[in-house]
A and B are shown apart, each in its own frame.
Chain A
Amino acid sequence: LAKTTQPISMDSYEGQEVNITCSHNNIATNDYITWYQQFPSQGPRFIIQGYKTKVTNEVASLFIPADRKSSTLSLPRVSLSDTAVYYCLVVVYGQNFVFGPGTRLSVLP
């Protein structure tokens, strides 16, 4: 079975840049990579989506290498309110939508 992996947890300090990488070695050709943020007792919230190279929006950047077997979410200048679990979501051949295991980000003052 294809596997999607992420670091289990990361710590950072306010104002720092945080990079979270997701490995997805069997991603479907035509589909996007999406990252979500989830707070306790809430549904995941969309952060950013991309297909290849680099995508940037008002809250994050997403870097995707040419082979698309991984992606890196970059959060600039994190604040305490960015403490949450971050998931990558990909479409994998034969398995449909696959969320990564999630990375628990703790932002410290």
Chain B
Amino acid sequence: ETGVTQSPTHLIKTRGQQVTLRCSSQSGHNTVSWYQQALGQGPQFIFQYYREEENGRGNFPPRFSGLQFPNYSSELNVNALELDDSALYLCASSLLGTSGSSYNEQFFGPGTRLTVL
């Protein structure tokens, strides 16, 4: 167990709807990253939040947005859902080093399985 929790475990939505996924970081971590993992593929980086600010973003459209709260928990919001958004959404927490480089030891939660019909 990594100490990273995600909710809900599973979710079914219809095309065009909006969804919010939640993540609680491991204690002591200040950074949260979100990934999308389609079936049979590797995780794709969506974005990272550090101290409540977006700290990097992958190749995802603006309808994917996020928040990080003072307690370092985080939300991923997806608007105007499309069928291709069906995937496992993973949250990972980590400790961003003071040297400015990323400590890539990320601790992943179990994921939220989103199905868009």
Q: When the two chains form their complex, are residues B110 and A42 in contact, meaning their CB atoms are under 8 A apart?
A: yes
Contact (Cβ within 8 A) B41 A97: no
| B109 is an interface residue with CB less than 8 A from chain A | yes
Contact partner, B57, options A33, A87, A96, A100, Cβ 8 Å: A96
Known: A30-B100, A30-B101, A31-B102. A98 touches B107 (CB 8 A): no
How would you classify the secondary structure of chain A's contact residues: helix, strand, loop or mixed?
strand
Question: How many residues of chain A get a CB closer than 8 Å to chain B's CBs?
Answer: 25
- The yes or no answer to B16 lying at the interface (CB within 8 A) is no
- In the complex, what residue of chain A is closest to B57 when comparing beta carbons? A96
Q: Is A44's beta carbon under 8 Å from chain B?
A: yes
Give every chain B residue within 8 A of A43 (Cβ-Cβ): 2, 4, 90, 92, 108-111
A8 to chain B, nearest CB (A): 10
The one of A34, A49, A101 in contact with B42, judged by C-beta atoms closer than 8 angstroms, is: A101
Q: Which residues, 40 to 92 on B, are CB-close (under 8 Å) to A?
A: 41-45, 48, 56-59, 90, 92
**A58 vs chain B, min Cβ distance (A):** 15
Whether B100 lies near A96 (C-beta < 8 A) is: no
Tell me the minimal C-beta distance from A6 to chain B in angstroms: 9
Known: A96-B45, A99-B42. A31 touches B58 (CB 8 A): no
Q: Which are the 9 A-B pairs with shortest beta-carbon distances?
A: A43-B108, A99-B42, A30-B101, A34-B104, A96-B56, A97-B45, A32-B104, A102-B42, A99-B43
Q: Which residues of A contact B (CB under 8 A)?
A: 30-34, 36, 41-46, 49, 87, 89-91, 95-102
Which residues of B come within 8 Å of A, CB atoms?
2, 4, 33, 35, 41-45, 48, 56-59, 90, 92, 99-111, 113
